[in-house]
Amino acid sequence: MHNEILDIVEKNTGPRTCPACGHQYPFGVFVRRYVMSYGLSTWPCQGCRESIKCDFIKLQIMWLVGLVITGFVLGVLTAYFDWGLLNLILLIPYFAFVLLTLFYAKFEKHNG
């Protein structure tokens, strides 16, 4: 009985998990199938068929803040150094940040 309680808590609190049944989506499947296909839409859970969605509004706000900071850093570096296209290499940390936010994405039930 004690193990069942711990299993329920662990199933429902991890990243990319259905809040209803605890089905966890692998990162690659989540990005490829849902982020690229649905975007802001909802989709049925593979485990329980409950309608779920990712809180993309919070993710997009974090992405926007990261993009503003990255743009500021690139602007300063361009003003002081003439690196040209090499500045684009500095976008790699921003894309790593985006992937990290998707890795820890939280799902919620869609009430619609």
The more confidently predicted of residues 63 and 39 is: 63
pTM of the model: 0.67
* pLDDT tens column, 52-89: 888 778 888 888 998 898 888 888 877 787 766 666 77
All residues at 6 or more sequence positions from 63 whose CB lies less than 8 Å from its CB, including other chains: 97, 98, 101
Taking each continuous run of H as one helix and of E as one strand, the counts in the chain are 4, 3
Q: What are phi and psi of 23, to 5 degrees?
A: -65, 125
CA end-to-end span of the chain, whole Å? 35
Q: How far, in Å, CA of 85 to CA of 40, rounded?
A: 32
Q: Which two tokens stand for residue 40?
A: 């802001």
The more confidently predicted of residues 6 and 89 is: 89
